[in-house]
């Protein structure tokens, strides 16, 4: 099997395709495509809670499989621990706990806000939900501000 190496789809190709997936989730199941909600139902599935939404568990599994499939088509997967400029700036021993804490912040925040980049940023915004517009503007502005702050704290290496 040959490998399909696509460096990065142009935004005007990838964006509309992702938009079609978001629309399909609504058009077929009447549900928002929110990945943080998928995680939440996987945690319910893990403890066999009866109110687990199996649709969301299946979509979660599909995303993992899709990630593996696309990586395979591109000649991977390669086991790595690469984190761009952050790898260069910090030793691995420090990077791992920082990324874990970053993950905790993501999980705590998205569960509190009831959605993330996909659920609020893409799906909710496409449905013209005011809460989603507000959430999206908030996490974008916060992430930009914190990125600049981190770069400043690390002496401009990021």
Q: Please, what is the minimum distance in Å from the beta carbon of residue 144 to another protein?
A: 5
**3-state DSSP of 16-58:** HHHHHHHHHHHHHHCCCCCHHHHHHHHHHHHCCCCCCCHHHHH
Site for another protein in 81-120 (CB under 8 A): 81-86, 95-96, 98-120
Interface of this chain with another protein, residues 13 to 72, rule: CB under 8 A: 14-40, 42-43, 49-51, 53-71
Shortest distance (Å) from residue 64 CB to another protein: 5
75 binds another protein (CB under 8 A): no
Size of the site for another protein (CB under 8 A): 123
Quote the DSSP letter at residue 7. Answer: S
> Least distance (Å) from another protein to the CB of residue 24?
6
Q: Are 111 and 37 in contact (CB under 8 A)?
A: no
**Separation of alpha carbons 47 and 150, rounded Å:** 37
């Amino acid at each position: 099997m040959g490998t399909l190496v696509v460096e990065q789809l142009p935004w005007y190709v990838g964006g509309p395709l992702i938009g079609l997936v978001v629309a399909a989730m609504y058009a077929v199941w009447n549900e928002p495509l929110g990945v943080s909600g998928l995680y939440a139902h996987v945690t319910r599935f893990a403890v066999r809670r009866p109110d687990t939404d199996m649709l969301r568990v299946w979509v979660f599994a599909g995303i993992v499989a899709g990630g593996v499939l696309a990586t395979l088509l591109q000649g991977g997967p390669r086991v790595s621990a690469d984190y761009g400029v952050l790898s260069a700036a910090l030793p691995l021993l420090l990077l791992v706990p920082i990324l874990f804490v970053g993950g905790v912040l993501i999980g705590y925040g998205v569960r509190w806000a009831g959605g993330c980049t996909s659920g609020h940023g893409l799906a909710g915004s496409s449905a013209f939900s005011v809460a989603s517009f507000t959430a999206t503007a908030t996490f974008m502005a916060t992430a930009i501000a914190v990125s600049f702050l981190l770069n400043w704290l690390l002496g401009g290496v990021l």
